[in-house]
Chain A
Amino acid sequence: MAVADLNLAQQARPRESFSDWVARRGTAFWVVAGLLLLMPAIASPFWLVQIIAYSMILGLIALSLMFLAGYGGIVSLVQMTVAGFAGYLVAILGDSAISQISLHWPWWLAAPVAILVATLFGTLSGALSVRTEGIYTIMITLAIASAFYYLTLQNYTIFNGFSGFNGILPPVFLGIDWGQQVPFYYLTLACAALAYGAVVYVSRAPFGLALQGTRDNPRRMAALGFDVVAHRIAAYTFASLIAASAGVLLVWYQRQISPGTAGVGPVVDMLIIAVVGGLSRPIGPFIGALVYVLLRTFSLDVLEGVGLDGRRYQLLIGLGFLVIVLFSPDGLIGIWQRLRDRYRRSGDIRDSQMGSGGGTP
């Protein structure tokens, strides 16, 4: 029944032309896209890499969480660990300053293998946690994430313990050093755009629609013949692929990786980023990540500027998160949408009042 409906809907939609496709995105989309493309001309290198590229990397990891939580109803805390694992694998398989552990594979072998293995790890964690339902997932994934953190902290033979790896350099190919600011920015932007597009596409593809069905009513979906568990595990695989790619970017950005990269703090921060941005749309995590990075970078100056202790930014983040959760469960996106609706509604009322006002003498 559901499958038939889906197919009908898809056949009924005519192939749209390119101009329709451009128009359907809306103005805001193209303004943001243009701004991002032209950013190197506007922004200083600090803003370009430390703020925007870093936000996009964190946004990618949060996007994978948003995909699971928003479309699958699975709140997984393991995504940051998948990213951290991919980063570690790049350091272990590729080149780093810890040459007695690193295997010195070329980057074109190390990075794909890292992404593949980390995705596999994410899938296995998913397979483990989908055995239980709902809110249990958060506990199990948190336990997995912390086990990974303590493993990297205690293990010196593979993960080099507390100090981790440093001296991991982004590759040089096609004659470009991708560690330079502008190429790295465009690399990150391309990955973010690709992942964003992929999430939007998958959310409308039959798989994504079925996944949203399992989120809303797993029993009915099972009765319709969908394999709920398989859909959820596949969702983990897709999300882990995004998170693992972001992890490779992250380790190239930081040029080092240590247990703190995927510690309990960052793991929870990813959830905060996704929730603050909004779990209902793929753009939410990127907005959340931008806010988070701005807060982290400038809260010291701002707090000291208003005469408070600059070290209390964690308190600021906690309070901000609490306020968002309490008053706007769908995050900053939700606030924006509500404001726009109110503005539109008041605009409609004004229009109708003006219309009626014009009618009376």
Chain B
Amino acid sequence: MSDVIARRPIWSLIIILAVAILVWLVFSIWTPGMEAMFGRKRVFLSALFNGITLGALYFLVASGFTLIFGLMRNVNLAHGSLYLFGGYLGYSIGEWSGSWLVALVVAFLVVALVGVLMQVLLFRWMEGQDLRQTLVTIGLSIIFADLLLWNYGGDTFQVTAPDWLSGPVTLPFAVALRSNGEAVMMTYPLVRIAILVGAIILGVLMWLALNRTRVGMLVRAGVDDRDMLSATGVRVQLVFVMVFAFGAGLAGLAGVVGGTFQSLQPGEDTRILLSSLVVVIVGGMGSIPGAAVGALIVGLAEQFGSVYMPTYAVMLTFIIMVAVLAVRPEGLAARR
């Protein structure tokens, strides 16, 4: 950390200043002048929190995508379909068993199994043929989309959150002052906060698994040089299958999570796929910290864009992507 500050003093200063301003904006009570500039504080804060929690969802999806891409050079364009499949499955299981956690676990396992089948039956036989693998995933995404439409129709579904996660929670941030000087506190849905915490825990666990375990070491070695890894006698196919299963399972799990605080409908698969594409392009391909940074940026950009410039919200995300590509084509967090 101190190393980074020493190397890039100006950038570090700018970032620290930005964070400080943000913290001040969150905790202070806004004057009328500020409200005239940024709108109501409640709107600003909910955009901020919605952006961060949306970023958590994008991180769940994009980290699987980026792992699969980093290790196998496979641009899995069926990743959004896996997300939607996991979501629908979670909905069905949730309705059947009445338990949100069971739905989460079953969706993870079943979609991971689908991932294993995809890797073992299809991608294993066309290793090194990047384009062909991508074309196969396009074919699969069309087939999945139509099968899901067939089974679930065009209706909108929502996974029901468990009782212990529903309802609002009061946050220690004052939104405004009542006329008698009493502060109005910000309230926020508990389920979104739980998802944010869950995503952070998962991210930390993934980072530990990648950096502190033997399997993680194999995966990192495979990202750097796949051929050399297999030459050292590692059963690289097994590593591939495991990573594909885990990445796909994460997409399925994210489907249940996304189905809980957003909704599930046809077309959601491409929307999520595109978001994770942008996340991965911005963050850097094959990097978990990159996925986290990218997801946060894209989530915040989408929410703030839709609050402050509704007709050009997409353009904000897009401009960020273009700027990153122009300055650092390999992504923000990628190693050179």
A interface list, Cβ under 8 A from B: 75, 128, 131-132, 134-136, 138-140, 142-144, 146-147, 150-151, 154-157, 264, 268, 271-272, 275, 309, 312, 314-315, 317-319, 321-322, 325-326, 329
Interface status of B130 (Cβ within 8 A of chain A): yes
Chain A residues within 8 Å of B311, by CB: 154-157
| A322, B132: Cβ atoms closer than 8 Å | no
Interface status of B27 (Cβ within 8 A of chain A): no
Given contacts A131-B325, A155-B311, A312-B150, contact A325 B135 (CB under 8 A): yes
| B139, A147: Cβ atoms closer than 8 Å | no
What 1/0 flags go to B139-160 for Cβ under 8 Å of A?
1101101110110000000000
| A131, B329: Cβ atoms closer than 8 Å | yes
B interface list, Cβ under 8 A from A: 73, 75, 77, 122, 130-132, 134-136, 138-140, 142-143, 145-147, 149-150, 270, 274, 277-278, 280-281, 285, 310-315, 317-318, 321-322, 325-326, 329-330
Q: A268 touches which one: B122, B138, B143, B285 (CB < 8 A)?
A: B138
Chain A residues within 8 Å of B310, by CB: 154
| B312, A155: Cβ atoms closer than 8 Å | yes
Q: B131 touches which one: A75, A146, A315, A326 (CB < 8 A)?
A: A75
Chain B residues within 8 Å of A128, by CB: 322, 325-326
Most B C-beta atoms less than 10 A away, residue of A154, A275, A309: A154
**Interface of chain A: mostly helix, strand, loop or mixed:** helix
Chain B residues within 8 Å of A312, by CB: 146, 150
Bound CA span A146–B142, Å: 17
Nearest first, the 4 closest Cβ-Cβ pairs linking A and B are A318-B142, A322-B139, A147-B318, A318-B143
Smallest CB–CB gap between B284 and chain A, Å?
11
| B138, A321: Cβ atoms closer than 8 Å | yes
| B270, A146: Cβ atoms closer than 8 Å | yes
Bound CA span A317–B322, Å: 33
| A143, B277: Cβ atoms closer than 8 Å | yes
Bound CA span A233–B130, Å: 22
Q: Tell me the nearest residue of chain B to A140, going by C-beta.
A: B281
| B325, A132: Cβ atoms closer than 8 Å | yes
Chain A residues within 8 Å of B136, by CB: 322, 325-326
Smallest CB–CB gap between A270 and chain B, Å?
11
Q: B270 touches which one: A140, A264, A317, A325 (CB < 8 A)?
A: A264
List 23 A–B pairs whose Cβ atoms lie within 8 Å, in order of A's numbering.
A75-B131, A132-B329, A135-B131, A136-B281, A138-B75, A138-B131, A139-B277, A140-B281, A143-B274, A143-B281, A144-B318, A147-B314, A147-B315, A154-B314, A275-B135, A314-B146, A319-B139, A319-B143, A321-B139, A322-B143, A325-B132, A325-B135, A326-B136
Bound CA span A146–B274, Å: 7
Bound CA span A157–B330, Å: 35
Bound CA span A318–B139, Å: 5
Bound CA span A329–B258, Å: 36
Bound CA span A329–B130, Å: 12
Chain B residues within 8 Å of A326, by CB: 122, 136
User: 13 new A-B pairs (CB below 8 Å) besides A140-B281, A312-B146, A321-B142?
Assistant: A75-B134, A128-B322, A132-B329, A139-B75, A142-B277, A143-B277, A143-B281, A146-B274, A147-B318, A154-B310, A268-B138, A314-B149, A325-B135
| B147, A150: Cβ atoms closer than 8 Å | no
Smallest CB–CB gap between A157 and chain B, Å?
7
Bound CA span A132–B324, Å: 12
Given contacts A142-B277, A147-B315, contact A315 B135 (CB under 8 A): no
